[in-house]
Structure 1
Amino acid sequence: MVPFCLRTNWIRPIRVVLTLFSLPRTAYTPGVWSAVSCSFSHPFKTSHTIRPISSSFFYHQMASICMMPSSAVPHVKSRCPQYPGSNVKRFPVPDANVDWSQKWPQYSPVSYTAPSVTNKPAWADPDIGSFHPRFNCVDGNVDRTSFEGSYNVEMGKPLNPRGRTGLTGRGLLGRWGPNHAADPIVTRWKVDAKGAKVHHPVSKRPVLQFVSIKRKDCGEWAIPGGMVDPGEQISLTLQREFSEEALNSLAVLPSERAEIQERINKLFKSPGFQVYKGYVDDPRNTDNAWMETVAVNFHDESGNSVSELPLQAGDDAGQVQWVDLDSSLALYANHSHFLELVAKERKAHW
């Protein structure tokens, strides 16, 4: 089990208050950017409920639920002082100047695009000027629309709908504008040796477990997920990413791959819950490129589909294992909040 830190009793009420106001669960001083923590557990506020969607409905009509309103607290991790995977320092952006509507002539963001992107891999756009993408629409087989609605374009480059980040260019992201991802949240009930559900001694509610991976790029524990390929349905991305990252389906023998695929198909054809759809406060975001995701929960109620398969890290995952859902979890980006929504919907311990 992942050695997540336990919290003392007095922290929980404070955490609840912070969650209600969509503040980071660390010290936060409004207007003082240097005091903002870049912890990977910043929650997102939502007033929407989670609705069940069947697999067939999900494939064709993914309804928008749990979208974060544009008036929410300014992004935090998108302004981390040092850009991940580099020695590049962002231009400091205080809370009051995040929104583009605030005039700020002194704003002088750093320009940075990682070598892994400028080397022109197949998954990345060329530089603006050498090509002219069509923003706020489906551009060929690349979806450049945003879950946030229409975003502004200035000097041929899209502007982050959540505001300034202190850095222009694309950083580690391949696409100008929204970079679409999908996060499959695969859960099961924790059971004892007799197969009975385990209930938490305090909340008295059954304990859920989810498949968690340890990311190779930053060492943070996270929900397995990845980028949506051009022209790919999100439903297929969810299934593909889970298979590759949590079960290492690309490396197994063909005979084993058939069994894995059968169990995966069984799970992903079951009713799922679209937990979140919208902007992600990700440390890789820039003024011109940002992450958006769709997170969906697939639950192995009987424990006889993927629960019986041995987990094996693959692709971008360093480690993989089943982890108990609990409010003490500290995960990458806003993944902790996704799990909180799942626990509430499943009436499980949190």
Structure 2
Amino acid sequence: MRWLRTVSLGQSPCFLSPLRCLPSLPGVLSSATRPSVTHLQTVGLVFILLTCSTIIISSTTGKLLPPHIQDHMLSVAKFLKINDKGFSPKFNERDGEVERKSLNGLYVVENGRPQNPVGRTGLTGRGLLGRWGPNHAADPVVTRWKRDRSGNKIAHPVTGKNILQFVAIKRRDCGEWAIPGGMVDPGEKVSATLKREFGEEALNSLQKLPEEKVELEKQLHKLFSQEHFVVYRGYVDDPRNTDNAWMETEAVNYHDETGETMDNLPLEAGDDAGTVKWVDISEKLKLYANHSYFIKLVTEERGAHWSEDPGPGCCE
């Protein structure tokens, strides 16, 4: 989703932005305090009108927003302010708790603005991303073998290779299926982000009772402490990318070989995930951004089924 439009009040620029972009703004609100998308949708489409000195919040439905949501929106609006003279990010290095180094190496900075290393997108500025330059995410690819009722692995009838399944979510913001990942918070290790995001989106950890969270954390620790491998690290072809801000991710595969660990972790959609389920992996998958490519790399590493097409150079 892009900015709806840019308007001007006198000499003060202002931006009109839909509240639905809120889940895509990392570092603005903690995952624990961010208002749920479900609740916000019941209020209506909310807009932030931000000028150099004035912030106005309104709802198209005419309903009064709850005070705690207004407070959240004020925090977001202040964060979006781009004319703050005190804002002087240190690009290509760690800037306090914020990592501004790219996983793909040094990037060019022109007139104080970082330049997308892959090329121009047709959109300038930061757009819907939370930071100028690289915006770091983490994507946990949790997999298991597809099995029959007797517990035997199921092979694809054409390729004869065993079928992998992975935990997929349906994103609330765009309706596309995706890996249940998210943004790395300032000062947070990627390993912590991987576990946190999977818990929030695929297990609804934010809504669990204290005693449930304790047990859930034990099972998550077991899953994320076992054998894994880094699938991909680098630039992501994300629809939110602009000329001056872009997504980068580290995708890591956590494989439950026996399936026993995930049996103790019942899937339940949470945070900005609308639905969650186990999905059979094949080339027919249509996923958000580069996620299909990440999944393909996992099948290659695991020797699992991906395509019925034998590919060039093969013959009968």
Q: Deviations over 1:148-199 (max 9, x none)?
A: 2111111111111111111111111010110000000000111111111111
Say if 2:4 and 2:16, in contact at 8 Å, map to a contact too: no
* Structure 1 residue matching 2:126: 3-state secondary structure: strand
Greater strand percent: which structure? 2
Alpha-carbon distance between aligned partners in 2 of 1:252 and 1:274, rounded to the nearest angstrom: 29
Aligned residue in 2 for 1:259: 215
**Structure 1 counterpart of 2:174, from 218, 233, 238:** 218
Q: Which amino acid aligns with 1:127?
A: I
Q: Does residue 121 in structure 1 map to residue 76 in structure 2?
A: yes
Q: Deviations over 1:218-241 (max 9, x none)?
A: 000000000000000000000000
Aligned residue in 2 for 1:333: 289
Return the structure number with greater relative CO, CA threshold 8 A, min gap 6. Answer: 1
Say if 2:161 and 2:305, in contact at 8 Å, map to a contact too: yes
* Structure 2 residue matching 1:169: 3-state secondary structure: coil
Alpha-carbon distance between aligned partners in 2 of 1:195 and 1:245, rounded to the nearest angstrom: 27
Number of aligned residue pairs: give it.
246
Q: Does residue 208 in structure 1 map to residue 164 in structure 2?
A: yes
Structure-2 change in CA distance of 1:339 and 1:216 (3 Å): same
Q: Does residue 170 in structure 1 map to residue 148 in structure 2?
A: no
Aligned residue in 1 for 2:256: 300
What runs of 5+ residues in structure 1 fail to find an aligned partner?
Answer: 1-83, 90-110
Give % identity. 61
Say if 2:3 and 2:128, in contact at 8 Å, map to a contact too: no
Alpha-carbon distance between aligned partners in 2 of 1:125 and 1:148, rounded to the nearest angstrom: 26
- Cα deviation for residue 309 of structure 1 reads 2.0
Q: Which amino acid aligns with 2:246?
A: W
Aligned residue in 1 for 2:280: 324
Aligned residue in 2 for 1:25: none
Q: Does residue 290 in structure 1 map to residue 239 in structure 2?
A: no
Alpha-carbon distance between aligned partners in 1 of 2:158 and 2:210, rounded to the nearest angstrom: 45
* Structure 1 residue matching 2:76: 3-state secondary structure: coil
Q: Deviations over 1:236-259 (max 9, x none)?
A: 000000000000011112222222
Q: Which amino acid aligns with 2:122?
A: G
Q: Does residue 181 in structure 1 map to residue 131 in structure 2?
A: no
Q: Once structures 1 and 2 are overlaid, which stretch shifts more, 123-132 or 179-188? A: 123-132
Alpha-carbon distance between aligned partners in 2 of 1:137 and 1:319, rounded to the nearest angstrom: 37
**Structure 2 counterpart of 1:236, from 192, 198, 214:** 192
* Structure 2 residue matching 1:210: 3-state secondary structure: strand
Q: Deviations over 1:57-102 (max 9, x none)?
A: xxxxxxxxxxxxxxxxxxxxxxxxxxx255569xxxxxxxxxxxxx
- Cα deviation for residue 293 of structure 1 reads 0.3
* Structure 1 residue matching 2:117: 3-state secondary structure: coil
Alpha-carbon distance between aligned partners in 1 of 2:303 and 2:5, rounded to the nearest angstrom: 44
Structure-2 change in CA distance of 1:278 and 1:173 (3 Å): same
**Structure 2 counterpart of 1:145, from 92, 101, 107:** 101
Structure-2 change in CA distance of 1:142 and 1:134 (3 Å): same
What runs of 5+ residues in structure 2 fail to find an aligned partner?
Answer: 7-13, 26-49, 51-73, 307-316
- Cα deviation for residue 112 of structure 1 reads 7.7
Alpha-carbon distance between aligned partners in 1 of 2:77 and 2:204, rounded to the nearest angstrom: 22
Alpha-carbon distance between aligned partners in 2 of 1:251 and 1:296, rounded to the nearest angstrom: 25
- Cα deviation for residue 114 of structure 1 reads 4.3
Aligned residue in 2 for 1:276: 232
Alpha-carbon distance between aligned partners in 1 of 2:273 and 2:244, rounded to the nearest angstrom: 27
Alpha-carbon distance between aligned partners in 1 of 2:75 and 2:134, rounded to the nearest angstrom: 18
Q: TM-score normalised to the size of structure 1?
A: 0.66
What is the root-mean-square deviation of aligned Cα atoms in Å?
A: 2.2
Alpha-carbon distance between aligned partners in 2 of 1:289 and 1:237, rounded to the nearest angstrom: 21
Structure number with larger C-alpha Rg: 2
Alpha-carbon distance between aligned partners in 2 of 1:306 and 1:124, rounded to the nearest angstrom: 38
Q: Which amino acid aligns with 2:245?
A: A
* Structure 2 residue matching 1:171: 3-state secondary structure: coil
Structure-2 change in CA distance of 1:253 and 1:166 (3 Å): same
Alpha-carbon distance between aligned partners in 1 of 2:16 and 2:162, rounded to the nearest angstrom: 46
Q: Which amino acid aligns with 1:167?
A: L
Q: Which amino acid aligns with 1:336?
A: S
Alpha-carbon distance between aligned partners in 2 of 1:123 and 1:317, rounded to the nearest angstrom: 26
- Cα deviation for residue 121 of structure 1 reads 2.6
Q: Once structures 1 and 2 are overlaid, which stretch shifts more, 126-135 or 264-273? A: 126-135
Q: Which amino acid aligns with 2:159?
A: S
Alpha-carbon distance between aligned partners in 2 of 1:121 and 1:349, rounded to the nearest angstrom: 44
